[in-house]
Amino acid sequence: MVSEMTSKERVFAMLNRKPVDRVPVITGSVMVKEYIEKSGSSWPDYHSNAEMMVNTVSLMHTDAGLDNIVMPFGMFIESMALGLEVKMGRIDIQPSVRSFFNKPEEVKYDNFLEDKYVQTTLDAIKLAKEKYPDAAVTAFLVAPITLAGDLMGAENLSMLSIKCLQKEKQMQKMKDWISIALEINKIYAEACVEAGADILYYSDASASPNLVMPEFYYQVAVPAEKEIGDFVHHLGCPWELHICGDTVPIIEGMASTGADCLSVEQAVNMEEATKIAGDVPVVGNVTPLLMVEGTEAQIIEETRKGLDGGAKASMLGCGTPPLSSSDKLKTWVKAAADWSADKL
pLDDT at position 73 is 95
CA atoms within 13 A on the CB side of 60: 34
d(CA 277, CA 262): 8
Helix 296-308 with 326-343: angle, nearest 10 deg: 40
- Is the N-terminal amide bond of 281 cis, ω within 30° of 0? no
pLDDT at position 127 is 98
pLDDT in tens, 49-101: 999 999 999 999 999 999 999 999 999 999 999 999 999 999 999 999 999 99
Is the pLDDT at 313 greater than 80? The verdict is yes
> What residue spans define the domains of the chain?
5-340
Instruction: Kindly report the pTM of this predicted structure.
Output: 0.97
pLDDT bin (cut points 50, 70, 90) of residue 2 is confident
Range 5-340 has CATH code 3.20.20.210:
yes
pLDDT in tens, 93-146: 999 999 999 999 999 999 999 999 999 999 999 999 999 999 999 999 999 999
pLDDT in tens, 232-278: 999 999 999 999 999 999 999 999 999 999 999 999 999 999 999 99
d(CA 222, CA 245): 17
pLDDT at position 100 is 97
pLDDT in tens, 270-285: 999 999 999 999 999 9
The DSSP secondary structure of 43-97, one letter per residue, reads TTGGGS-HHHHHHHHTHHHHTS--SEEEE-SSTTHHHHHTT--EE--BTTB--EE
pLDDT in tens, 160-182: 999 999 999 999 999 999 999 99
pLDDT at position 1 is 67
Q: What is the largest CA-CA distance in the chain?
A: 58
Is the pLDDT at 185 greater than 90? The verdict is yes
